[in-house]
Amino acid sequence: MSFDLTGRRALITGSSQGIGLALARGLQAVGAQVVLNGRDATKLEAAVAEVPGATSLLFDVTDHHAVRAAIDAFEAETGPIDILVNNAGMQHRAPLEDFPPEAFERLLQTNIASVFHVGQAVARHMIARGAGKIVNIASVQSALARPSIAPYTATKGAVANLTKGMATDWARYGLQCNAIAPGYFETPLNAALLADPDFSTWLGKRTPAGRWGQVEELVGACVFLSSAASSFVNGHILYVDGGITASL
């Protein structure tokens, strides 16, 4: 029963595809009412159609005022958001010496500023209720670097530290703020890597589990961090990576 989310409402940002959509399905399977989010209305509604019973909340996670307005209106009109999964993110690959500054700015806004914007907007309501769960999606790149993605690595390191800051500020109000740090998973964000047989060969040798992760393998960690089972877990970064951070 500690993992039962019946009666809880979960908002998952960036949930039109990939990890976000998989986590929405997983939380719904253990009883949560799920709210999908994206900024592309067509993609978002297509995702909602794949998760019967889900609802949608359209807003751009990089727009602070739009986020605040959408969250406040939803709380007033629909009800409380008990669980927030900050999943929205993007990738851009280029050598650091040639990395476009506009791409760097997009990464900052999408991968880290959005965690602040949505986290703050939702936490204000959670604090008033004295309870809430925030699960941020970090990355194996929160701890490790790889060529061509230095700015992405910087943003995911920041997600891990912002998670610790959230816990430090908000645990006293009854919130648990933690992060999941996925390793290499088969997602649209990794399409270019999936299409590269040399990379998959390297990954298989580098990862003790010897393979790519499947998005469904992230669900258990998210359910744990969203449920009463993690009532005294705060500021933790849970790596789900097939052992890649444990091995040289």
**Tens-level pLDDT at each residue, the chain (248 residues):** 799 999 999 999 999 999 999 999 999 999 999 999 999 999 999 999 999 999 999 999 999 999 999 999 999 999 999 999 999 999 999 999 999 999 999 999 999 999 999 999 999 999 999 999 999 999 999 999 999 999 999 999 999 999 999 999 999 999 999 999 999 999 988 999 999 999 999 999 999 999 999 999 999 999 999 999 999 999 999 999 999 999 98
152 catalytically annotated: yes
Tell me how far apart the alpha carbons of residues 122 and 76 are, in angstroms, rounded to a whole number.
12
What pLDDT score does 248 carry? 87
Query: Which residues, 6 or more positions from 172, have their beta carbon under 8 angstroms from its beta carbon?
Result: none
* Domain assignment present for 245: no
Burial class (CB in 10 A: 0-12, 13-18, 19+), 185: buried
* Domain assignment present for 219: yes
* Domain assignment present for 158: yes
Burial class (CB in 10 A: 0-12, 13-18, 19+), 189: middle
What pLDDT score does 51 carry? 96
* Domain assignment present for 200: yes
82: Cα separation from own chain's centroid: 15
* Domain assignment present for 90: yes
- 3-class SS at 133? strand
Per the structure, the count of domains in the chain is: 1
What pLDDT score does 206 carry? 96
* Domain assignment present for 247: no
Q: From residue 241, give the alpha-carbon distance in Å to each of 142, 184, 247.
A: 12, 7, 11
* Domain assignment present for 246: no
- pTM beyond 0.95, yes or no: yes
What's the domain range around 25?
9-240
Q: How many CB atoms lie within 10 A of CB 97?
A: 6
Residue from 152, 173, 184, 239 carrying the catalytic annotation: 152
* Domain assignment present for 1: no
What pLDDT score does 78 carry? 98
Instruction: Kindly report the CATH number assigned to the domain that includes residue 117.
Output: 3.40.50.720
